[in-house]
A and B are shown apart, each in its own frame.
Chain A
Amino acid sequence: MVSAQKGQVRVITGNAVGAYGALLCRPEVVAAYPITPQSEIAEQIAQFVNNGELDAEYVEVEGENSAMNVVLGASVAGARVFTATSSYGLVFMYDALQETSGYRAPVVMVNANRETPGIHAVSSGQQDMVSTRDTGWVQIIVENDQEILDQIIMSYRLAEDNNILLPVMVNYDGFYLSYLAEAVEIPLIEDVDAFLAPLKKQTPRQKLVPGVNIGCGTHGIEMGYVEARYKHCQAMERVKPKVDEIDKAFGDYFGRYYGGQIEEYRTDDADIIILASGSATGTVRTVVDSKREKGIKVGLVKLRLFRPFPAERLIEALQGKKAIGVIDRSVGFGWKYGPICTELRALSREIGTAPILSYIDGLANLDITIPHIERVVDELDTAAKGKPYQEVTWIPMEE
C-alpha cells in the first residue's frame, strides 16, 4: 500500500471532525439524538444527508435508546452504521448497548465524554464512559481533534473485522474537544475507501434476510448464553493486538501513528510514570518536558484503549518503574482509587513494587492544569525515593 494523498487542512471543532469522520466512512444508516456537547455531530450529519454529500438513511429518533436500537437493527441487516451521543444519552441507551455488543453488531459510535446523572452537570468528565464499561463495547479514548477523525476511520476497520465484530465507542472529552477548533487534515474519501477496502475482501458477515428463518441474539439460553459470552470475551482479547496492527497500517498509509492501545512518551529511561488519558495528556507532555529539564526522569503513558484493558502493553511499559501516578477524570464508587487506577492495580503483581498513586482531577470541567501535574510529578518523585506518600488525592479538594 502506497501513501495516501495529502488531505485538506481545515480548522474545525471536535464535533465537526466527528461528523467528517463519519462522512468519510460512508455509513448507510445514521440515527442520533442531539445532546450537549455532541449535538453538532447529529446536526452536521443531517446536513450532509440533506445536501447529498452522504448517501445514508438518517433516522430521526425520539431519544438515544431508539437511536441505538435503530443502528443495531440496521447493522444486523448488514448496513454500516454510525451514531453519536454523550452522558445522559449514553446511559439512556444502556440496555441497547448490551444488546448491540451481544449481537456482535459492528456499530461505531462517538461519545463526547460528559459527567453523568446524580448531580446535574453539563460539563466534561469520563464518568459516562466508566458507567458503561461493562456493556461489552470496545472503548477508545482520544486526545485531540485529529485523533477523533483518525480513530473513527480506524474503528470501522476494527469493528467490522470478521475476527472482531464488536461495537466501538470513540470517546473524547466533551466541551474541551467538542468546541475546540484545531487544524485537522481531512483525508480524501478515496483514500479512506482504500484503507477500509480490506473489509470488503472478507466473507460477508451474516445478516438478516427477509423470508429466511434465521435469528440473532434471541436464543441465548443455557449453553447458548455461555458460548456467546465466551466468544465475546475471546474477541475482546483479540481486539488488543488488532488495535496495534490497525494503528500501524493507518500510520503507514496516512502518516499519523498513535501507538495503538497505549502511547508511550519518554518512558524508556523514566523512573516515574504518569498514566493519563484524553485531552489532559497534552498538558502532561508539557510538564514531562519541563520536569525533564530539571533532571526528573518522568514519562507519560497515554491510555487509548479502556476496554479491553491493555494489560500486556501496560505491564511492558511500567515494569521496573519506581512510582506510577494515575490521573482519573471520573470516580469509582466503592473504591477509593479512580477507575483507571483500580484497573491498573489489578496488574500490580506483574508491574512490580512501584507505589501506585491515584489522582482524581478534572471532574465537571475543572481544568487539569500544569501546576496540578507538576504537583503529581513532585509527589511521585518523593514516593519513588521510598518516602511516605498519599495513596489517593482529589486534587481540587486540596486547593
Chain B
Amino acid sequence: MVIKHKNIFPTESPWSNTDKLLLCLDTGSWRTERPVLDREKCNYCGLCALYCPPQCMRDKGDYYEVDLAYCKGCGICATECPRKAISMVPEGEFADG
C-alpha cells in the first residue's frame, strides 16, 4: 500500500492547534432561516448568546452578532429574546442565502 496522504495531525493522537487548524464542519450551510438582529430593540442582555446551542453569538461590546459560518438557524435566540429583537428570515430572501 502506498500512502499518499499528508498527515493533518502532527502527533500520533488526533491533536491540533485550533488557532491554525479548526477542523469544524461549516454547519452554517445547513441553515434554512437566518436570525436577523434589530439593533434598535436589542439592549445587550446576552440571553441569545446564553441559549445559543452551538455558541455562535459573537459579543460585539454593545450588541451580539451571529456567526453565520456556524449558525444552523434553529431560532432559539429569536424565541428567547425578551425584546423580540431577533427575527428569523428565510435564506431565500438573501442574495448569499
Instruction: Name A residues whose Cβ lies closer than 8 Å to a Cβ of B.
Output: 102-105, 162-163, 165, 205-206, 213-217, 219-224, 226-228, 230-231, 235
Contact = CB atoms under 8 A, between A and B. Distances in A.
Interface string B17-49: 111011111000000000000000000000000
B92 interface: no
A307 B83 CA distance: 58
B2 interface: no
Contacts of A221: 23-25
Contacts of B22: 215, 219
A216 B16 CA distance: 6
A217 B9 CA distance: 10
Nearest to B3: A230
B9 A215 contact: no
B17 A216 contact: no
B12 interface: yes
A1 to B, nearest CB: 26
29 contacts: A102-B14, A103-B13, A104-B13, A165-B12, A165-B13, A206-B11, A206-B13, A206-B15, A213-B19, A214-B16, A215-B15, A215-B18, A215-B22, A216-B14, A217-B13, A217-B14, A219-B14, A219-B16, A219-B22, A219-B23, A219-B24, A220-B14, A223-B8, A224-B9, A224-B23, A226-B5, A227-B9, A228-B14, A235-B12
Given A221-B23, A227-B7, A227-B8, A205 B13 contact: yes
Contacts, number: 63
Nearest to A106: B13
B39 to A, nearest CB: 30
Interface size grouping (class) on chain B: 10 to 19
Interface of B: 5, 7-9, 11-19, 21-25
Contact of A104 (B14, B16, B19, B24): B14
B23 A220 contact: yes
Contacts of B18: 213-215, 219
A217 B24 CA distance: 11
Contacts of B24: 219, 221
A231 B9 CA distance: 10
A162 B18 CA distance: 23
Contact of B14 (A205, A222, A224): A224
B6 to A, nearest CB: 9
The 3 closest A-B pairs by CB, nearest first: A219-B23, A104-B13, A228-B14
Contacts of A231: 9, 12
A205 B24 CA distance: 24
A213 B17 contact: yes
Contacts of A230: 5
Contacts of A223: 5, 8
Contacts of A206: 11, 13, 15
